[in-house]
Structure 1
Amino acid sequence: MSAQEHLRWVYERVRLLNAAIEDPLALVREPARLAGLHEWLTFVDPTLAAVTTIHYNLFLGSLQAHSSQRPLDLDPFISMRQLGTFLLTEVGHGNDAGALETTAVYDRATDTFTLRTPNAGAQKFLPNTSPIGGPKTGLVGARLLVEGRDEGVFLFLVPLTDGRGVLPGIRVRRLPARLGSPHDHCLTSFDRVRLPRAAMLGGVHGRITDGGAFTSDVPERHHRFMTSIDRIMTGRICLSAGTVGASRAGLTAAVRYGRNRQITGVTESSRLAVFALRSHHGPLVEAIATVYAMNMLYREATRRWSERDRTDQAALGQAARFVSVAKAWITWQGRSVGAQVRERCGAQGLLVNNGIVEQLMAVEGAITAEGDNQAIMVQAATELLLLHRTLPAPAGSGQGRALNDPGFVDELLAAAEGIWLERARLARRAAPAEALARRNHAMGPALRAVDVHGHRQAARVLAGALTGMPACTARELLGDVHLLFALRGVAAHSGDLLRHGFLNAEHVDALPLVMERLVACLAGHAEVLVDAFAVPEAYFEGMPIASGDYLAAYDDPGGPWHRGDPVTG
């Protein structure tokens, strides 16, 4: 299909999906169900997953949350007569979305808002606001001005297009095509668009009274903004879920291809599957272990956010940090897994019909969406550094402790995290007494610490999943998966752990040998491990690399080999 045909197909399919969902509002209220949907949608079609998360999570989820404050007619959006989109990011403001420049000026005399884009940098960047896909309504992030006072950023419900095109006062321009699955990303601006008072999604964080006065129970404008965009956290879970799903599908295809691709063996007359080579299966086995850890970390993030205590600000902050670190760590790991999948499939991995490059680009989008990963990790690193006190003393260089002891490995990962946090603390103290300098000096090691933190949390929840399993072959196999994944984190910091006395020389010598044995063992079970990902067989139809006879996809019925000509010298 052309890009335009693909987009029309996506919007048709999202309505088919909506018709299959019994209660869309129940879906958006349950992060686990919504995330589960994204696990399976993303590898089927990344654009479909993007349109889905925008409509259900960001748009309908925000409306549903605010409808408890004030009755809203949600039926057009539940039925998808109107498709929802979300307009927050501007050309000049992404991670600093609290500094948005789009304005909504309240006029008490008419009881209306005037929505306006004041400059080029305030144009809304990337939302799917084109007329493709039928009528659309957006939630627009804008700075509320009341009698000249800046009351902070709120969301406003704004009709954007009807069945014929863009509505008056709204300007929509398509952005250049992106790599991967096509999307109707646009620049959107507003020329004095009048909105009724009911268009503002207000609540305890801010509202306009019947008398035309602004009131809020939340004094800080930043907290008002964060309340308005509360669905961002569920969005991070959905992006994590989609990355996990895409990684599972890609690895399944890569393992199948490695088993089917025959190459010259040890002798010129012998043939063997390329997967038999350690240089080929090693990276894939490590990727499989990583995806199992990604999967469990995403599920734990979903559980923590679903069960969060909204009345306990400290607990709420911890849950938000866990979700945010999980999103950044998972999507970065998804990029690494996708790169290995693509490389192990050679030139075949570059072809669009094998789906691998499309998934790689979907993960690139997830890395930036709902909060850029680097910005998320900077915030998390700052919080961890504030919580850090001192590095715990090593207990006798791990004397008598074995590398196959999950408890010992967890302690080593915690120690590696602590080492980098301690370096960050010392760097901050040694920096010039100026805020930016202190921040910059500490941030390098602090970011290393938060990366170890993500790895440690993933290893911990993967180990926790094993504790409830009865003793069986599957538990032993998953135990090896956990150990390989956890030891990869230890190996990356073994020098520091040795230097600070958490490991001894014997441990360091044994570490690569233990990991090699785990890789060799798991390679023999790779097909079992990826079969457990349960990617539907229908997904692989028309995908040559996943076929038992991938050469058949390239056969030419008119080729000379079909004429049966005798071979001559």
Structure 2
Amino acid sequence: MIPRIGAEAELARIVGGPHPAEARERLTAALLAGAAPEAAHAGHGRRTHHALRRLAKALPPARDLLADPYLLALMSTCTAAADPPLYLAALSHYVLCMGSVLSLAGDPAELRAQLDALESGYAKGVFLVTETGDAGSHLALRTTARFDAARREFVLTTPDAGAAKFSGVGAPGEPQTAVVCARLQTAQQDCGVFSFLVNLCDEQGLLPGVRISAPVDLGALPLDYALVQFDGVRLPYRNWLRDTARIDEHGTFHDVLPGPDARLHRTLGVGQALWATLPSALAAMARQCAVLTLRHSTHRRSHGLLAPGSPVLVYRTQQHAVLGALAESFALTCVGNAALDAWQRAPGAARSAGRAFSPWTAVDPVLAVYKAHAASTTARLAAECQHRCGLAGYLDLNRLAAYQGFAHAFDSAGGDNRLILLDTGRSLAGRPDPAETGTPPPSRIPPRSLTWWPTAARAHEARLASGLRRSLRRGEERGLGGLELWNPLLSTAYELGEAHASRLAAEQLVRTVGDVRDPELAAALRPLAALYGVAEARRLSGGLLATQVLGPGTVRALPHAMDELCDLLLPRLRLLEAVMGSPGTGRPVPLGAADYARALADSLAWHTGGLP
């Protein structure tokens, strides 16, 4: 017999992962530690660099951290919930910069000094891939690394203003080391996009040939962003993160990979670790948004004529939004766990489905979809929570704005969500029509049933895919191809990619709830999962009506189903709130306090005028 572990402990394991509480406590202590005196009044970049140094002391060596998906996710969730800008810096430092070195360097031991500086936090690591002058797919990077055969060095060059790199590089004066994605050129050929390890600056300032612009403001996610250009920066051969490639003594390039496309996918494959752990971090932000909004709605009083003096949570519209956000944040938690499990089963394995619009689904079609879904859902959820909290939701110190800004930025960062879902829809349309073309839920199954939404989501995806295949066949029969064929169908392909992501989330949620052993927890999670499904159906009702998966009568009945599910959830909120809003997310914010106005006032410094 499997022993029961209690409702709170089982939910904490679903939400927080398998690592012991001590690991979370170490990370929380590092995040709560005060800034060093020299950084207390510095700019965003310098404060973030010093926070990274504190974080490094609480973490194992980078190789061990990156080899443990669940510890990397724990670092991600703790840091993201406490300080989203710091989390972005940690992603760049650990996952993208050091991850590239450890996975792609020909011999990491040759780069030991730079790795030691990064691992200790002495040097801040950044990842330079995005160029400002063209589309954001990374398919046509123009920064070049020309091989000098006589000296066996590379010359890194920014050919024009449009090839300038953009990143949170911080201000010169702090040691920074970048992994730079550049197009390798030999005398004979363009060899594709590789990564190179480049020291940008030390305590004295910029290193020769490196140019960094004045700060470029990005208020939604404050770091010290800037443009970076290279003017003939010379790099030793060992700084080429060459993976399986080499250049022989005659200057001839060799690579076991079949061509530039495969090399680009391999270079960007470091993003798999980001996509595997980012959904967990976004889920942590979503949980914080939902729980803080729930607490605020419980204590915030209404003074309208319908229910003067009552908490705003008595209103059905507030219940639908706030409990719906709680349900959506739990669904995102299940998506985050699924992403970690997928990465743990095959870390670093490319599961390429090809690509047409961007390289990301070719790197990993499953993790890319999880990333796109988690980012867009969290951004939408956080914005709704801000609205439901009124003025309080927009104040920076209550942190909802930071969560929304981070998630919204990752619409484009880490792989453009729209391009990912477009390629996903294109790939699904390329599969043969299945025998099952999408059976909607039987009328005997009510929307509040746990299995209703996954059934509807599968039928919706199948019917969208079948319709897109028919449109493609008709276009091909007319002799159309390329842009002429696809341009009128891009919106449909995107809708199909979105439906696919929604179906994956629904199935992961139901699978998680179905595995719950504790009866008290199951009684809370079943209506929570059903509420997620009904809310998703309501959000996507236009498309569901268009594919005839749902009829008008069913759509009209969805608000009543949400009412019933909210009534089931209200008595069970204590358990969900206690665990999903658990400590370990940095300093408390006023928004979650029982007396919000007093907590807000106490969090501020005050200036008092003299007596008249």
Q: Same fold (TM over 0.5)?
A: yes
Cα drift, residue 527 of structure 1: 4.2
Query: 1:81 aligned to 2:122?
Result: yes
Partner of 1:118: 159
Partner of 2:430: 386
Query: 1:453 aligned to 2:500?
Result: yes
SS of aligned partner of 1:461: helix
Structure 1 contact 406–463 (Cα < 8 Å) conserved: yes
Q: Aligned partners of 2:605, 2:396: CA distance in 1, in Å?
A: 23
Query: 1:215 aligned to 2:254?
Result: yes
Equivalent positions of 1:187-206 (< 5 A) are: 187-204=227-244, 206=245
Structure 1 contact 95–375 (Cα < 8 Å) conserved: no
- Segments of 5+ residues of structure 2 without an aligned counterpart are 1-38, 355-360
Q: Aligned partners of 2:416, 2:605: CA distance in 1, in Å?
A: 49
Cα drift, residue 83 of structure 1: 2.1
User: CA 1:279–1:332 in 2, change beyond 3 Å: closer, same or farther?
Assistant: same
Q: Deviations over 1:307-361 (max 9, x none)?
A: 1276785699799212111111111111111111101110122222212212211
Letter in 1 for 2:264: F
Q: Deviations over 1:423-458 (max 9, x none)?
A: 222333344613102112222122112212111111
Letter in 2 for 1:422: S
SS of aligned partner of 1:222: helix
Letter in 1 for 2:270: R
- Segments of 5+ residues of structure 1 without an aligned counterpart are 561-569
Cα drift, residue 55 of structure 1: 0.9
Selected match of 2:390 from 321, 328, 346: 346
Q: Deviations over 1:82-122 (max 9, x none)?
A: 22211111112453313111111112111111111111111
Structure 2 contact 441–452 (Cα < 8 Å) conserved: no
User: CA 1:210–1:79 in 2, change beyond 3 Å: closer, same or farther?
Assistant: farther
Selected match of 1:149 from 189, 201, 209: 189
SS of aligned partner of 2:133: coil
Selected match of 2:274 from 235, 239, 242: 235
TM-score by length of 1: 0.90
Q: Aligned partners of 2:570, 2:462: CA distance in 1, in Å?
A: 33
Partner of 1:185: 225
Identity of aligned residues (%): 25
Partner of 2:583: 536
Cα drift, residue 279 of structure 1: 2.2
Cα drift, residue 56 of structure 1: 0.5
Structure 1 contact 88–140 (Cα < 8 Å) conserved: yes
Selected match of 1:308 from 325, 335, 346: 346
Q: Deviations over 1:484-528 (max 9, x none)?
A: 212333445667767867557775565443232112322343343
Partner of 2:49: 11
Selected match of 1:168 from 199, 208, 218: 208
Q: Aligned partners of 1:248, 1:310: CA distance in 2, in Å?
A: 29
Query: 1:436 aligned to 2:480?
Result: no
Q: Aligned partners of 1:257, 1:311: CA distance in 2, in Å?
A: 44
Cα drift, residue 257 of structure 1: 1.1
Selected match of 2:597 from 525, 537, 551: 551
Structure 1 contact 305–320 (Cα < 8 Å) conserved: no
Cα drift, residue 54 of structure 1: 0.6
SS of aligned partner of 1:264: coil
User: CA 1:326–1:313 in 2, change beyond 3 Å: closer, same or farther?
Assistant: closer
Partner of 1:564: none
Structure 1 contact 91–123 (Cα < 8 Å) conserved: yes
Q: Deviations over 1:210-237 (max 9, x none)?
A: 4532111112111111112211121123
User: CA 1:318–1:112 in 2, change beyond 3 Å: closer, same or farther?
Assistant: closer
Cα drift, residue 391 of structure 1: 7.2
Cα drift, residue 62 of structure 1: 1.0
Letter in 1 for 2:255: S
Cα drift, residue 129 of structure 1: 5.1
Partner of 1:516: 563
Structure 1 contact 39–242 (Cα < 8 Å) conserved: yes
Partner of 2:148: 107
Q: What RMSD, in angstroms, separates the aligned Cα atoms of the two structures?
A: 3.0
Structure 1 contact 157–200 (Cα < 8 Å) conserved: yes
Q: Deviations over 1:365-390 (max 9, x none)?
A: 22221111111111111111112515
Query: 1:422 aligned to 2:466?
Result: yes
User: CA 1:493–1:114 in 2, change beyond 3 Å: closer, same or farther?
Assistant: closer
Structure 1 contact 258–275 (Cα < 8 Å) conserved: yes
Cα drift, residue 239 of structure 1: 2.8
Q: Aligned partners of 1:143, 1:496: CA distance in 2, in Å?
A: 42
SS of aligned partner of 2:213: strand
Q: Aligned partners of 1:396, 1:273: CA distance in 2, in Å?
A: 39
Letter in 2 for 1:358: A
Letter in 2 for 1:235: L
Partner of 1:326: 370
Greater alpha carbon shift after TM alignment, 173-182 vs 284-293 = 173-182
User: CA 1:512–1:540 in 2, change beyond 3 Å: closer, same or farther?
Assistant: same
Q: Deviations over 1:242-277 (max 9, x none)?
A: 221111112221111111112336678x52111222
User: CA 1:413–1:311 in 2, change beyond 3 Å: closer, same or farther?
Assistant: closer
Greater alpha carbon shift after TM alignment, 509-518 vs 81-90 = 509-518
TM-score by length of 2: 0.84
Selected match of 2:513 from 466, 471, 486: 466
Q: Deviations over 1:41-60 (max 9, x none)?
A: 11211221111111100011
